Amino acid sequence: MKSLRTLLGTWVVALFAASCTFDGDRYPQSSVHPTSDFAEMIHGLYVDIFWWTLGILVVVWAVLAYILVRFRARPDQPIPKQIHGHMGLEIGWTVLPALIVVAITIPTIQAVFSTQTANLEESLVIDVIGHQYWWEFRYPDTGMVTANEVHIPVGQQVSFRLSSADVIHSFWVPMLGGKRDANPVRVRPEGLDPEYNWIHLTANETGTFWGQCAEFCGDSHSLMGFRVVVESPEEFDAWQAQLAEPVVAPEVAAAEGDSIATPVQVADVDPLVEEGRTIFHQQTCVACHAIQGTNAQGEIAPNLTLLGQRSSIAAGWLENTPENLERWITAPQDIKPGVLMPGVNVAGGNWPATNLTEDQVRAVAAYLYSLR
């Protein structure tokens, strides 16, 4: 038992060390490095309960250790005194734990209520829609849409309205707070509002925070990450404005004879990008993907507006580089099993293989990377 206790003791010390001294950069998905009011409230509660439970554990283990040493059977020991019980002790060790759980329960219930109520008038509402295996974010106020990387302003209350397009997912950004399930929206009789789950929080630090689906949702559940970019209100407004009028060359709309396109700024004229642009907008890509300001208006797959700005692709799984984009376009199912996107040689969802050549893949990747 001694060596076991030493080992466990070391780990408990390590637990302290880890929860007190690590930095957020080392654990980008840490639940013990709060950066919002919601996360701080949970963390405060956790720390309180941690001390209570650690105290109980230390007492139990210390008494147990004493018993095991002190009451070890000795040779020729007579039969020990036969004690059947003690009412006072029973009452004592019933009441004492009861008081401790009351001490834990009261702040818990306070936190339950305070984290689940918010004034939506003061909130920036963002729709979060889980899909197998990516995240869609919609800003109802501006009509803007993005995927897998959501921007929010620091110091402003944000209310995430959670739902799912298919199965149950769970929206979890540990540094910004606890998770909540994104349930498929139940069809209800007329007159009844649809039911949503909400997360309300006010971020108090800028930075990019990692999130991940926390409810098992199928083949690629493990690869269903996302990022939350917390930025200053000015940066946030600029980003929203850029989303509305992204950098896309006008000839795309002209070439397609499409009336959806809005007036846009002229992008760079790298011929590779131009080739990729042509391929993307003439192929089946546009059936599922949308790029603001172009003929691509599909809603089944992630919105690719300003894709080049995102830090990651494939729902937080790959760093956003032209090489990774090429890998993804070539064989998405090799990276993310069960994904609906077709690859160069494999069909996906309802779509046949794209049959793009290597050069064409490079061109499409260059085009997508140029959307910034």
Partner 1 sequence: MSVATESAATTHDAHHGEPTGLWSWITTVDHKRIGIMYFLTSIFFLLVGGLEALLIRIQLFKPENDFISAELYNQLFTMHGTTMIFLVAMPMAVAFFNYVVPLQIGARDVAFPRLNALSYWIYLFGGLYLNASWFVGQAPNTSWVGYANLTSTQFSPGLNVDFWVLGLSILGVSSIMGGVNFITTIINLRAPGMKLMRMPLFTWMTFVTSFLLITALPVIAVALIMLAFDRFFSANFFNVAAGADPVLWQHLFWIFGHPEVYILVLPAFGVISDVIPAFSRKPLFGYPVVVYAGVLIGFIGWGVWSHHMFTSGMGPIADSFFVATTMIIAIPTGVKIFNWMATMWGGAIRFTTAMNFAVGLVALFTVGGLSGVMHASAPVDLQQHDSYFVVAHFHYVIVGGILLGMFSGLYYWFPKVTGRYLSEKAGAWHFWTTMIGFNLTFFPMHFSGMFGMPRRTWTYQSELGVQLYNQMSTVGGFILGISTLIMLYNVLKSAKSGAPAGSNAWGAPSLEWSIPSPPHHYNFPALPEVRSREPMWHDDERAAIEAVTLAHPAKEPEMPGPSFWPIVVASGVTATWALVMTGVWWVPLIGLAYTTFGVFMWAFEDPFKHLESSH
Pick out residues in 54-93 that bind partner 1 (CB under 8 A): 56-57, 60-61, 63-64, 67-68, 71-74, 77, 79-86, 89-90, 93
- Is the CA virtual torsion 213, 218, 223, 229 positive or negative? negative
Is there binding between residue 317 and partner 1 (CB under 8 A)? yes
CB of 184 or CB of 298, closer to partner 1? 184
CB of 67 or CB of 260, closer to partner 1? 67
Q: Please choose, out of 44-52, 148-156, 349-357, 360-368, the segment that lies near partner 1 by the rule CB under 8 A.
A: 44-52
CB of 47 or CB of 266, closer to partner 1? 47
By CB under 8 A, the count of residues binding partner 1 is 103
Q: Output the DSSP codes for 218-271.
A: STTGGG-EEEEEEE-HHHHHHHHHHHHS-B--HHHHHHHT-S-PPP-B-----H
Question: Nearest approach, Cβ of 97 to partner 1 (angstroms)?
Answer: 5
Q: Which of 50, 242, 344, 372 binds partner 1 (CB under 8 A)?
A: 50
55: exposed, middle or buried (C-beta count within 10 Å: 0-12, 13-18, 19+)?
A: exposed
Question: Nearest approach, Cβ of 185 to partner 1 (angstroms)?
Answer: 7
Window 216 to 245, contacts with partner 1 (CB under 8 A): 216-223, 225
Q: Please choose, out of 122-130, 141-149, 188-196, 340-348, the segment that lies near partner 1 by the rule CB under 8 A.
A: 188-196
The tokens for 365 are: 């990747």
> What DSSP element (H or E) covers 94?
helix 87-115
Q: How far is 69 from 190, CA to CA, in rounded Å?
A: 70
CB of 318 or CB of 344, closer to partner 1? 318
Q: Please choose, out of 5-13, 142-150, 267-275, 352-360, the segment that lies near partner 1 by the rule CB under 8 A.
A: 5-13
Q: How far is 124 from 30, CA to CA, in rounded Å?
A: 25
Question: Nearest approach, Cβ of 294 to partner 1 (angstroms)?
Answer: 31
Is there binding between residue 2 and partner 1 (CB under 8 A)? no
- Is the CA virtual torsion 139, 142, 145, 148 positive or negative? negative
Q: Which of 120, 122, 188, 238 binds partner 1 (CB under 8 A)?
A: 188
Tokens 């390590």: give the residue.
Answer: 14
> What DSSP element (H or E) covers 313?
strand 312-313
The residues, ordered by sequence, that sit 6+ positions from 244 with a Cβ below 8 Å of its Cβ are: 142, 144, 292
Tokens 């794209």: give the residue.
Answer: 354
Window 89 to 118, contacts with partner 1 (CB under 8 A): 89-90, 93-94, 97-98, 101-102, 104-105, 108-109, 111-113, 115-117
Window 130 to 169, contacts with partner 1 (CB under 8 A): 132, 162, 166-168
**Do 177 and 42 meet the contact criterion of CB atoms below 8 Å apart?**
yes
